[in-house]
């Protein structure tokens, strides 16, 4: 059977992965991460392929990696040192896990607090428990025929093939292909089980994070819960609900910084810059793996709209950069959409000559502010402002549509008036009984002239081709 790396018909039964052993690669990924921690190398998988592999690998530079214009960043899996305080926190979490009944409330508090769950070994144990899952009740995946028959299958495969930068560097090619097979199957399992849910681009960025940490079987159960709760509005047949939710950031920014709110409103930047943040829980936009999983710790125990509250906090945090940018949509959108490159401190040149701008957003501080912002202004307190904002936008859109229609109507009437003026000359020279015949004859002659001209041109082309 073809695998993910060699066809758009990839699924199941690669050498490193099969249906009977759903989590066979979890340990291998952990080993790969540990190996990387020792070497601290940041090469792309592309550098590990042989020339033969590169030629047969469809995941190449020609495949776009954008989500609504936002380019996926390459994750760094570099190890973060564990402080004494965090080492103590690990022991506290392990103690809670060893006791019955399980204190889920305390685990949630620890996940939200500074440092989150610290490392992936803890996350693997705790993430399912935060959602109340029984990982022993694993369901078998759908058959290969069911997966291939799903209407979203080819789009999922395309997006998974773009996920190259989201896997640990240095992982062997066959294991990476097997993980991509698992990711494809994981996504399709959810939308097959819940036919009312629609896959969206960026969903795979969320799924791949859980796959890497907990393996396919547990990741499926986690994605089930998120898809029917936290992400359900993003999985509607249209993006109308998602677009509406994005507007929550502006009333929040207005409360935090009225001057910044007015500046952004004047620029017309809108909300699309934070669409990837919301759809992917920032997984698409960050280039430090430890930042991604830290945010996932936080979002798993937070209300569904918390990513938007964090978005408002990030925008206000970057106010100096925004005020330095031109007050127009292009400039501010470009600035804000590059979350992984903010705030700009100093440019660094890597050994291969690539310019890398450090991203040191103080997420622990930002998460605390986002929590306070949510407590101060919960969604129901600003719902009416969001509704008013959307209604005003609809009115402006309708006004613009009417203006465009009026412009087209004027142009059309101008053409009709010129034509009428032309034919108004006819009665002066031709008697009324002959006017209709004159029009018909003129139209016929013009049609014949056009026909013969085209025939002559085709004949000339054929002669040239023979020569």
Give residue 422's pLDDT: 61
Of 180-189, 295-304, 401-410, the poorest mean pLDDT is in 401-410
Task: Answer with the residue of higher pLDDT: 382 or 398.
Answer: 382
Residue 269 tokens read as 């930047």
pLDDT digits 0-9 by tens, 276-312? 999 999 998 888 899 999 999 999 999 999 999 999 9
Place of tokens 């936008």: 393
Give residue 434's pLDDT: 58
Domain 240-285+297-377, what fold?
Answer: Cyclin A; domain 1 (1.10.472)
Is the confidence at residue 323, as pLDDT, over 90?
yes
Give residue 233's pLDDT: 96
The domain 26-82+119-235 having CATH identifier 1.10.8.1310: the answer here is yes
Give residue 285's pLDDT: 87
pLDDT digits 0-9 by tens, 262-278? 999 999 999 999 999 99
Rounded distance between C-alpha atoms, residue 286 and residue 283, angstroms: 6
pLDDT digits 0-9 by tens, 95-151? 999 999 999 999 999 999 999 999 999 999 999 999 999 988 878 888 899 999 999
For the residues of 175-211, what is the DSSP string, one character each? HHHHHHHHHHHHHHHHHHH-TT----TTHHHHHHHHH
Mean residue pLDDT of the chain comes to: 78
Cβ atoms within 10 Å of 328's Cβ, excluding its own: 12
Per-residue pLDDT band at 170 (split at 50, 70, 90) = confident
Give residue 357's pLDDT: 31
Say what the pTM is.
0.72
Of 211-225, 245-259, 435-449, the poorest mean pLDDT is in 435-449
User: First CA to last CA across the chain, in angstroms?
Assistant: 50
Give residue 359's pLDDT: 60
Considering just the CA atoms, what is the radius of gyration of the chain in Å? 29
Per-residue pLDDT band at 435 (split at 50, 70, 90) = low
Per-residue pLDDT band at 53 (split at 50, 70, 90) = very low
CA-to-CA separations, 332 to 227, 259, 325, in angstroms, rounded: 31, 15, 6
Is the confidence at residue 458, as pLDDT, over 70?
no
- Among 418, 429, 391, 4, residue whose Cα is nearest residue 176: 4
Give residue 22's pLDDT: 37
Task: Please give the backbone phi and psi of residue 288, each rounded to the nearest 5 degrees, phi first.
Answer: -115, 120
pLDDT digits 0-9 by tens, 325-338? 999 999 898 888 87
pLDDT digits 0-9 by tens, 227-236? 999 999 999 9
Per-residue pLDDT band at 80 (split at 50, 70, 90) = confident
Is the confidence at residue 63, as pLDDT, over 70?
no
Give residue 399's pLDDT: 74
- Overall residue count recorded for the chain in this entry: 467
Residue 43, SS3? coil
Contact predicate 168/32, CB 8 Å: yes
Say what percent of the chain tops pLDDT 90. 51
Of 17-26, 167-176, 369-378, 412-421, the poorest mean pLDDT is in 17-26
Is the confidence at residue 72, as pLDDT, over 80?
no
Is the confidence at residue 462, as pLDDT, over 50?
no
Give residue 192's pLDDT: 95
């Amino acid at each position: 059977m073809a695998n993910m790396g060699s066809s758009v018909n990839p699924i199941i039964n690669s050498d490193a992965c099969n249906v009977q052993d759903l989590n066979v690669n979890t340990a291998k990924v952990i080993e790969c991460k540990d190996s990387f921690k020792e070497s601290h190398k940041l090469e792309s998988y592309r550098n590990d392929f042989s020339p033969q592999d590169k030629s047969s690998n469809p995941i190449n530079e020609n495949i776009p990696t954008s989500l609504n214009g936002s380019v996926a960043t390459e994750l760094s899996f570099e190890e973060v040192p564990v402080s004494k305080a965090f080492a103590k926190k690990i022991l506290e979490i392990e103690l809670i896990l060893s006791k019955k009944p399980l204190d889920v409330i305390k685990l949630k508090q620890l996940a939200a607090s500074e440092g989150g769950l610290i490392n992936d070994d803890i996350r693997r144990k705790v993430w399912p428990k935060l959602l109340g899952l029984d990982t022993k009740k694993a369901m078998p995946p759908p058959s290969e025929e069911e997966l291939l028959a799903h209407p979203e299958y080819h789009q999922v495969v395309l997006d998974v093939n773009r996920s190259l930068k989201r896997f640990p560097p240095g992982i062997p090619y066959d294991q990476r292909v097997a993980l991509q097979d698992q990711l494809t199957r994981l996504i399709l399992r959810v939308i097959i089980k819940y036919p009312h849910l629609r896959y969206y681009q960026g969903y795979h960025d969320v799924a791949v994070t859980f796959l890497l940490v907990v393996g396919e079987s547990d990741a499926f159960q986690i994605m089930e819960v998120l898809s029917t709760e936290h992400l359900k509005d993003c999985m509607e047949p249209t993006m109308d609900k998602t677009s509406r939710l994005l507007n929550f950031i502006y009333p929040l920014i207005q409360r935090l910084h009225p001057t910044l709110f007015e500046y952004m409103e004047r620029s017309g930047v809108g909300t699309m810059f934070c669409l990837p943040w919301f759809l992917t829980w920032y997984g698409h936009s960050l280039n430090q793996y430890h930042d991604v999983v830290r945010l996932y710790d936080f979002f798993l125990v937070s209300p569904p709209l918390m990513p938007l509250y964090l978005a408002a906090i990030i925008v206000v945090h970057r106010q100096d950069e925004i005020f330095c940018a031109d007050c127009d949509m292009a400039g501010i959108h470009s600035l804000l959409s590059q979350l992984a490159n903010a705030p700009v401190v100093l440019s660094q040149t890597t050994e291969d000559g690539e310019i890398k701008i450090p991203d040191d957003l103080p997420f622990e501080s930002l998460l605390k502010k986002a929590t306070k912002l949510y407590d101060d202004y919960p969604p129901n307190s600003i719902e009416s402002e969001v509704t008013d904002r959307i209604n005003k936008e609809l009115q402006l859109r309708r006004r613009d549509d009417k203006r465009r229609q009026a412009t087209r109507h004027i142009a059309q009437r101008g053409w009709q008036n010129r034509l009428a003026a032309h034919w108004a000359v006819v009665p002066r020279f031709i008697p009324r009984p002959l006017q209709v015949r004159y029009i018909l004859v003129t139209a016929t002659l013009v049609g014949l002239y056009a026909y013969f001209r085209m025939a002559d041109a085709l004949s000339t082309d054929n002669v040239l081709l023979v020569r």
